[in-house]
């Protein structure tokens, strides 16, 4: 993962400091923030199991269903309702988890976009902070 990140740097140690600085500011920095941001979102996707939950959204909760084969009709109906409840519980829990996960991802995404903007527009950001601190 580190080496993957380091591949985003293109600077060499014999270049002019000014060139190096602008090269880093407008090329490496956005790449780095993009890489960290997408990695962190991948981590959240994995943490909330969003892929698995979406694929198994309507599956019974913990496979908690009973096979109705060979049962009389009335019992079969009861079991069928129980199985439906199991699926419903599974659906609700999964949906809630997916929503919570998505909210987290949205927050993280926004934070990274803001952070990217701050880092890219650092001189403007400093002026803005000072103005708002004095007159806001």
Helix axes 73-120, 122-135, angle to 10 degrees: 90
Q: Does 56 bind other proteins (CB under 8 A)?
A: yes
**DSSP string covering 49-79, please?**
THHHHHHTTTSPGGG-----TT--HHHHHHH
Ranges within 13-42 binding other proteins (CB under 8 A): 13-14, 20-21, 23-25, 28-29, 32, 36-37, 39-40, 42
| Choice between 40 and 109, CB closer to other proteins | 40
Size of the site for other proteins (CB under 8 A): 53
| Choice between 61 and 80, CB closer to other proteins | 61
Contact between 98 and 50 (Cβ < 8 Å)? yes
Contact between 54 and 98 (Cβ < 8 Å)? yes
Residues 6 or more apart whose CB falls under 8 angstroms from that of 16 comprise none
Binding site for other proteins (CB under 8 A): 1-3, 6, 9-14, 20-21, 23-25, 28-29, 32, 36-37, 39-40, 42-43, 45-49, 52-53, 55-56, 59, 61-64, 90, 93-94, 97, 118-119, 122, 125-126, 129-130, 132-134, 136
């Amino acid at each position: 993962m580190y080496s993957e990140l380091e591949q985003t740097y293109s600077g060499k140690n014999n270049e002019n400091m000014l060139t190096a600085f602008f090269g880093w500011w407008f090329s490496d920095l956005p790449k780095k923030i993009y890489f960290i941001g997408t990695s962190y979102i991948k981590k959240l996707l994995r943490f909330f199991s969003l892929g698995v939950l979406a694929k198994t959204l309507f599956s019974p909760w913990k496979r908690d269903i009973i096979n109705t084969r060979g049962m009389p009709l009335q019992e079969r109906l009861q079991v069928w309702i129980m199985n439906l409840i199991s699926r419903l519980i599974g659906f609700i829990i999964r949906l809630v988890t997916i929503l919570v996960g998505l909210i987290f991802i949205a927050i993280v995404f926004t934070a990274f976009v803001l952070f990217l903007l701050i880092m890219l527009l650092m001189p403007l950001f400093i002026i803005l902070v000072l103005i708002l601190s004095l007159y806001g």
